[in-house]
Structure 1
Amino acid sequence: MKKGNLTGSDSSATRLSFAQAAESPCATCPDTPCCAYLPLGKVQLETLTEVDHARFLLNFERIELGLFRTGRWELFYRAPCRFLDPAQGACRIHDQPEQPRVCRHYNPYRCWYKASLAGAEPDGFFRLDGRRLEALLPLLVFDGRGRLVDVPDWAALSAAFRPLPMPGWPVDEELPAADPMDQAWREEVARGAPGAVQTTHTYAELADPCAGCEAWCCRAVVLPYGRPTTASNLDFLRFMLGFPGLSVGLTEEDWQLIVRTPCRHLAGGRCAVYGRPERPLECKYLNAWGCAARERLGRPRPPGYLRLSLEHFDTLTAQTAFDADGRITALPGAAALRGRIEADWCAAAPPRGRSGPEKGATRRRKNR
């Protein structure tokens, strides 16, 4: 028999029978990086502005960039799915109806995560955090219009990154707790409160829009997110919302992905690198009067904007219509979804001002 396999690959590698090789690769993957490394979307790094934006993003905890040998960049969120049992390395909702189909039908024999994230750094993929990006910046060359014209080759990148190892698995960092604005929203509905009360201010009082703000722009990454057009899109959204800190923000026209994770330079509600060279240009030139984070992330019921978490996913799908091929034919907007969610909360809550049976009976006995 010819040594090696049918393609003549390295015969020094582990030799397995077909039955042994056919055993699930998940059984030998103790760190389950597929459940702790969420892809957030592709990014471009072709201009000074785009590189600075990457610098801005990597200031946020648990946010990483991935660089493929093909030149493709992708953004990732390094956090375990809320349904991952860290002790067993297994999914708590495996094969249950609430498990996303993208998980149930993921082919472990073609798993990119295990090949790229388990063990030593692979030859065709680099993970980048803020430290690695700072090491890369001096090696980039731009033209006079801010276009990236020269980058180091793969060997030079490897040499630059080698002294800066990335954290391994499992993820042991503190993860985001529940969004306090979600609970405040529910409480407002329970009280029958009208939402934010409009107040008036003088021009002088608005001279510094950041005054009194809890730095909401530094507490979350907000990314553009395409409106779902198929049932498959919604299934992947369900998968994403299973990660702590993830929600989507809706207006009547646009969708956004919200990742609640703070900037590592946020200290005492203010920027610890303010005025220093390492502060991203995006932060330096932010128009604070046009900042949407304060209103959209810092209020329980922001007007014209809805934050949608995993808790609300079933309401979203119940209000969505599909054709026979799974294409979405009607997708509810922010106002309709908010109305449905709040109506469901009100229907499930006991009527306000009505006493329970025991208290009513006690009062009747006292009146006799």
Structure 2
Amino acid sequence: MKTGSVALVLLNDTPLYELGLAGEVFGSPRPDLADPWYELRLCGTRRGVVRSEFGFRVQADHGLDELAVADTVIVPALPYEYVLSGRPLPSALTEALAEASRTGARMVSLCTGAFALAAAGILDGRRATTHWMYAETLQRRHPRVRLDPSVLYVDDGDVLTSAGRTAALDLCLHLLRRDLGARIANQVARRMVVPPHRPGGQAQYIDHAVPVTDDAGLGPVLQWASEHLERPLTVGELARRAGMSPRHFARRFTAATGTTPLRWLLDRRLDHARTLLEATDLPVDRIAERSGLGTAANLRRHFTIQVGVTPTAYRRTFTQHPRPGTTL
């Protein structure tokens, strides 16, 4: 487990939404989950009051020199003048970002913050994303970026980028999962009353917005499936519970979630397996059964592909035993 220092970049007229999301996730101490929590440092082009979007004022207690010593650097969405007009970013910022990357900081952009990482040369040759509305502009200005405008976020190891708005929260929660494990990330998501995990490869936008929480549609079915992951669930069974044909169910599901029913089930099962690995002493073969992945070999295969390590290695990193009487 690790937390460390998080440097959050502030510019005049920075949009509040992504700024607030990053502040909520990394700046709110949660000693009951992890102690110490992250140390959030607000960094402006100079120390002092920064005027954010809508005239709100934020105190930047640190300058850009703080980026080079931070464990993680986050650039939230940029003021629109830098995105829409092409006005160059302050050279002090791009130089500080480049230096932070050279010294080993984990570099993160939220929404159009990717324009700053690109301007600093950090995204050259790397896969990245940004808000779909500004993807063409970013690609035109920075053709060396391997831009994927269709996904929620991209994890390229020490450089991570997100799409716009709520996708920024998805990436912040993904960072929690990397640093502190699925159980803590899920607890934070629950306290924020948001879905605990949307995979980065999920579509940024959908053609027909059908809310999965619609009581007359998919919401109850997905809740039921989440509670019965150990069963051999099929699209046909879920469709019957939703009162739809399998074909109509699959179409509506993809329109509502940006992913397929089978992909969604696999993600839920792997997420449940992570939690069981962290919070119980169950053997891997039992976790495979409880999560609906069948066998230990099947769990290891899917887990290694998606998470990048074996279940046993993951458990060693994120071992947390539940209190007596806890059931999962």
TM-score normalised by length of structure 2:
0.27
Larger helix percent = 2
Structure 1 or 2, whichever has the larger Rg, is 1
TM-score normalised by length of structure 1:
0.25
Higher RCO by CA contacts (8 Å cutoff, separation 6 or greater)? 1
Larger strand percent = 1
